Amino acid sequence: MLELSDLRTVPLFDGLRDDQLEELLEAGDEVAIVPGEVMWLEGDRADHWWVVVDGTLDLSRHVGREDVVVGRMDVPGRWAGGFRAWDEHGVYLATARGVTPGRLLRVPAERLHELANVWFPFAAHLVAGLYGTARSIEATARQRSALVTLGTLAAGLAHEINNPAAAAARSAAELERACGGLLDALRQMASSGLTATQFEQLDGLRRELEAPIVLPDPLETADREEELGEWLDRAGIGRPWELAASLVSAGADVDWVARAAAASPGDGLAASLGWVARTIDVSSLLAEVRESTRRVSELVAGIKSYSQMDRASHQRVDVREGLESTLLVMGPRLRPGVTVVRDWGSDVPVVDGMPGELNQVWTNLVDNAVDAMDGVGTLTVSTRRDGDAVVIEIRDTGAGMSPDVQQRAFEAFYTTKDVGRGTGLGLDIARRIVVERHGGSVEIESQSGDTRLRVRLPVKAPHVPAS
């Protein structure tokens, strides 16, 4: 059984009189920590207040299809639960499982409430009010922040995906017409008496042409089309400008057309050139469809990597991959006025971490940098190794932060943005994820035209105690 001397060694109880500790012992009971045994379950009613006297517990939450360790209770005086002492809807925020043998003091939340009211009536009222108010404000602000960010990203991604999807649809429609023209040209070639030998010669000439190219000088392109169009017009070819554009795009000139004429029946040049032009169009349109669908696949892969939909939440993380997927997802926010410079170190190791949460950090930092530059400037994203850690730096060319703003930047609900644009949670969330969840650090270095947010992550993540 727990005794008065056991509680006297727990810093949490400093300031309590012996008679108060005796009341606490009478109100509660001792529970043994057994390695592997569950003490309480996430989501259950937080009807008890648990205090570590000695031993160790791991706290885990169910995320997706797995349990993720979110903290550790390994210091005497660490406590959890008891929320129903002040909130009738309070539940355990994580599941506790024994790691090393020890003892817990378990006190019913109802008795905790009674003792607090007797010992510290004013403080008890403050705790109840503060707990309810803070939870309400933070929940609302976080929800709004998440919805605003999600809405911005969703709108940008819809636009990004719509562009290549629409291009693929247009190219597919044009491809249908081009294939129809190709079949018409083949029928005309057959009607003109084209022999197998002539067709083989024409096909050889077709293969001499390159894939559709873009000449560096638009005036040179126009001159070549005009020269070729005039030649075709003199040869009696109908609508010569249409054929000229397709042929010149593949590198054909007057000499090539003259050789094609020599390989065609007397009245079959128009059909022969039409067939070649349509094959060029088909090849060009297929390339456009391929590029458009590749871009859609790239965006989907980037979104998948960003959200980590098919991966374990805790794993070995290449921070460069997460930064790249974040820049891809945030592409609409970065154009047209932001120049992105990447500076990836060559020897940057992977780190222990939760990539989905780290991507949230990169999103907040990049979003803040773009806002600081008012959408115009240079964003530099760099990574490097620093001993047993990886340093990630987000740098912008905005107006910078004053010393006062730098000191308060990581405070919850503190923001310098206009009303409706910021909740003051971005850097607070980033700091919590980096410091409390990954054992790292976040620093600010700022002056006019050069602001740097520097994140340091250990290669081997330590066990971070529950807060």
Cα 460 to Cα 458: distance, rounded to the nearest angstrom: 5
Cα 208 to Cα 279: distance, rounded to the nearest angstrom: 13
> What is the model's pLDDT at position 143?
54
Cα 152 to Cα 145: distance, rounded to the nearest angstrom: 11
> What is the model's pLDDT at position 310?
47
Per residue in 172-200, pLDDT tens? Answer: 888 888 888 888 888 888 888 888 888 88
Cα 261 to Cα 306: distance, rounded to the nearest angstrom: 56
> What is the model's pLDDT at position 99?
94
* Phi, then psi, of 316 in degrees rounded to 5: -80, 130
> What is the model's pLDDT at position 412?
59
Q: Fold match between 4-119 and 312-458?
A: no
Per the listing, tokens 């994203």 go with 381
CATH of domain 4-119: 2.60.120.10
> What is the model's pLDDT at position 64?
58
What angle do the packed helices 319-329 and 269-307 form, to 10 degrees? 120
Per residue in 138-152, pLDDT tens? Answer: 555 555 555 555 566
**CA distances from residue 147 to 150, 154, 164, 242, 400 in whole angstroms, order as listed:** 5, 10, 26, 51, 27
- DSSP states of 86-106: T-TT-B-SSEEEEEEEEEEEE
CATH domain 312-458 topology: Heat Shock Protein 90 (3.30.565)
Cα 274 to Cα 265: distance, rounded to the nearest angstrom: 14
**Sign of CA pseudo-dihedral 82, 88, 93, 95:** positive
> What is the model's pLDDT at position 106?
94
Residue 16 tokens, joined: 């309590």
What residues does each domain of the chain span?
4-119, 162-296, 312-458
Spell out the per-residue pLDDT of the chain, length 467, in tens.
Answer: 788 888 888 888 888 889 988 998 999 999 999 999 999 998 888 899 899 999 999 998 876 566 778 788 999 988 888 877 777 777 888 899 999 999 999 999 889 888 888 887 655 544 555 455 545 545 555 555 555 555 666 666 666 677 778 878 888 888 888 888 888 888 888 888 888 888 888 888 888 886 555 555 678 778 888 888 888 888 888 878 878 888 888 878 888 888 888 888 877 888 888 888 888 888 888 888 888 888 777 777 666 666 554 455 668 889 998 898 888 877 777 877 899 999 998 889 999 888 878 888 898 899 889 888 988 999 999 999 999 999 999 999 998 888 888 877 777 555 655 444 443 456 877 888 888 888 899 999 998 899 999 999 999 866 544 43
